Amino acid sequence: MRMPLRDRIALVAALLAPLVVALALPPFRTHMTSANLALILVVVVVVVVAVAALGSRAAGVLAALSAAAWFGFFLTRPYQRFTISHGDDITTTLLLLAVGVAVSQLAAHARTLKLVTVTDAALLARIHDTASLVQAGASYAVVDQVSQQLVEILGLRSCRFEHGTLLGRHPRLEQDGSVSVGRVSWNLEKDSWPGEEIELRASVGSRYLGRFMLVPEPGVAPPPLQTRLVAVSLADHVGSALDTAGPVLDR
């Protein structure tokens, strides 16, 4: 896959920004300690990490490596060589590298938590909207809405709803978010979706009211367990709507 533009910008900044700043610092070597020069490069790394938090985790690590390398090359004796003769300078270089890597990892982790929060909010909104339709007694609207929602959150090619009795023995998305084929549990993480339609039952208690037939998109990995559980919850709402509305014929 082609790397997104913002990721490429972050990587270029990570590689070049510490070099540009390091090139500007040699005139100050006699007036500033190595520790202070290193702190300037730490600031550069932090700025790059701010970009990396919007782009890729790798950019922050690359910035830390670049800063440590050019600090050793331009700002420690012997100058303009990738060797360091003074013990304190070695320690400073290692701390510069460690701080840069640690900050980049924290930024990347914060970005992941933000994405999880946003995703959770979106999924909860879908459940809330569906529950509102159920309370309004709009059984047809619930079926149509949940069909579309399942396509979106599960990354499906298509989804249709079948009323009535079970026909055939299809793989099934279970209440716990797992998938079973016959009596065997299917390994989604290893084998992706089964290569056929998957049923997701809409029921109330032990009473079966219909099922969604899920058609996975080839090459699209199954969503995480949390998303699959939301899909199960949406199907349960459909079961409640149909149970309240009474028998419904296919349209």
Work out the percent of the chain whose per-residue pLDDT is above 70.
85
pLDDT band with cut points at 50, 70 and 90 for residue 245: low
Which CA distances in Å does 214 have to 149, 172, 176? 12, 9, 17
- Which tens digit of pLDDT belongs to each residue from 143-190? 999 999 999 999 999 999 998 766 778 999 998 899 999 888 999 988
Distance between CA atoms of residues 99 and 69, nearest Å: 14
pLDDT beyond 50 at 250 = no
pLDDT beyond 60 at 54 = no
- Which tens digit of pLDDT belongs to each residue from 61-106? 888 899 999 999 999 989 999 998 888 889 899 988 888 787 777 7
